[in-house]
Amino acid sequence: MASMKFLCDSKRCIECNGCVTACKNENDDALEWGIQRRRVVTLNDGEPGESSISVACMHCTDAPCMAVCPADCFERTEDGIVLHDKDLCIGCGYCLFACPFGAPQFPKQDAFGERGKMDKCTFCAGGPNVEDGSAEEKEKYGANRIAEGKLPMCASLCSTKALLAGDASKISDVYAERVVARGAKNAGWASTADLSYDASKPQES
């Protein structure tokens, strides 16, 4: 029983949007025009204290989307990944209202702006009630790297290793090592001061 999580190191994220592109490319068969499952948000853009964070579905342990869905289409896998069944999704938008991260998105190509089947990050774990790695799964949900023993594409391709994906205890160990052993102060989602590293200046201890 793992508990799969994402973690983004705001000190390392350089807003290259590589994770966005990696995700879009990996899950392309399932993604309709205009939908990107992952996004990078830059706060204080262009000002001192600028910092960026990559965000998608956070696969909450107590997921609000799961609680409000009228069709009850969500399920949590044994790895702690929150997946949704597109056969059951009715496109009501309740998960979007409840989600703090703005992860659920809806294709809107029908009449009256009617929402289509919801789409969100699957932790590259495909979807429920389809055969792992099948063409149907790829068409509906995108890649299933978890079934191949791989981690999500976004984190795997992150050039600065800001975005970590994996079992919560493993990635928090990686992060703790950065903070404690390697001196990366303010590396979490908790930084405003001194983001850029300037080798010409003496470093504060």
Q: Could you list the residues that contact another protein (CB under 8 A)?
A: 17, 20, 34-36, 39-45, 51, 53, 55, 64, 67-72, 87-88, 90-94, 96-102, 105, 108, 112-115, 129, 179, 185-193
Q: Which two tokens stand for residue 12?
A: 């390392």
Judge whether 9 and 188 are in contact, CB under 8 Å.
yes
CA atoms in the 13 A half-sphere facing the CB of 19:
31
90 vs 174, beta carbon nearer another protein: 90
Min dist CB 169 to another protein, Å, is 13
149 vs 198, beta carbon nearer another protein: 198
Tokens 């594409």 -> residue = 153
Min dist CB 175 to another protein, Å, is 9
42 vs 160, beta carbon nearer another protein: 42
DSSP string, 40-88: EEEETTTSTT-EEEEES----TT-HHHHH-TT--EEE-TTS-EEE-TTT
Residue 180: C-alpha distances to residues 171, 175, 193 (Å):
14, 9, 18
Min dist CB 144 to another protein, Å, is 21
136 vs 149, beta carbon nearer another protein: 136
Min dist CB 149 to another protein, Å, is 29
